[in-house]
A and B are shown apart, each in its own frame.
Chain A
Amino acid sequence: MGKLTIGCFSSLVGSMSLDFAVKLSAAAIEKGHKVDFWVSGNGTMLSIKGQRAFKDYSALMKPVQELMGKGLTITACEACAEARGYHKDNTIDGFKRHSMDWYLASAFDADRLLHIGGE
């Protein structure tokens, strides 16, 4: 099985890119692949605890937590998160926070890197 590294810089609300990236992660994990998921820029919104699911807005906390339970490694850019006021105590349990070199390190041995830029 392979390793897929996904980087997504789009926001949770206002873009469907994170929805796509989470669904792609689910499909890859279902097939037995390892997935590293990096969120940076506005994508760090995905890391916030307490997201409320409305039908008119993307709500990905639950599927992300389910995927983490199946082995998804997901990490937010710490500087991007802090700049937006997303602090460690308001981060989903198990959602890692690192500097940008974590993403590049993950890319080092990835079979495929899928980079989805921001808005």
Chain B
Amino acid sequence: MSTTKLGFIVQRPPYKSENPKLALTHAISSQSVEVYLKDGDIVTADIAFVGDGVLNCVKGQKAMEKYALSSTETHIKNSLLLDLNVMVCKEDLARLGLSENDIVMDAEEFGAEVTTKVVPFSEITKMMEEVNHLLFF
């Protein structure tokens, strides 16, 4: 039995490129990776939004209404539903004039039990040091 920890760092803003959404879909795929692994082996995914990447977390996105696309907000909620560790950099939120009231903090309507964690960058750094591999998006 073995665990490999992956850290997904999202630093780009939403919708300008495909990267943030790909970060989330790849992180979510950690839930089905066992089909390729031996019994008991798992891959975990932590997601951290930093820099302009925190803009991905703004709530009330209208991607479905405007572009007929699933929103990044929905992907974040799906991540919470799957108990992924979703972290948002506190300092970068403040820099952009945002607070917890402006971003996706939970997915209660999906039945998610975990919530988004707004944390100082030092905590994100700690996560980055603890994982086996980092992926920057």
Q: Which A residues contact B (CB, under 8 angstroms)?
A: 7, 9, 40-42, 80, 99-105, 107-110, 112-113, 115, 117-119
Contacts and interface: CB of A to CB of B under 8 A. Distances in A.
Interface in B73-131: none
A105 B136 contact: no
B43 A100 contact: no
Contacts of B4: 107-109
A104 B22 CA distance: 13
Interface string B17-48: 11100100110011011011100010101000
A103 B26 contact: yes
Contacts of B136: 115, 117
B19 A117 contact: yes
B128 to A, nearest CB: 13
Nearest to A112: B133
A109 to B, nearest CB: 8
A113 B43 CA distance: 14
B134 interface: yes
25 contacts: A9-B18, A40-B26, A80-B22, A99-B29, A99-B32, A101-B33, A103-B29, A104-B6, A104-B45, A105-B35, A105-B37, A107-B4, A107-B43, A107-B133, A108-B2, A108-B41, A113-B135, A115-B135, A117-B135, A117-B137, A118-B17, A118-B18, A118-B19, A118-B22, A119-B17
Contact of A104 (B2, B12, B19, B26): B26
Nearest to B28: A100
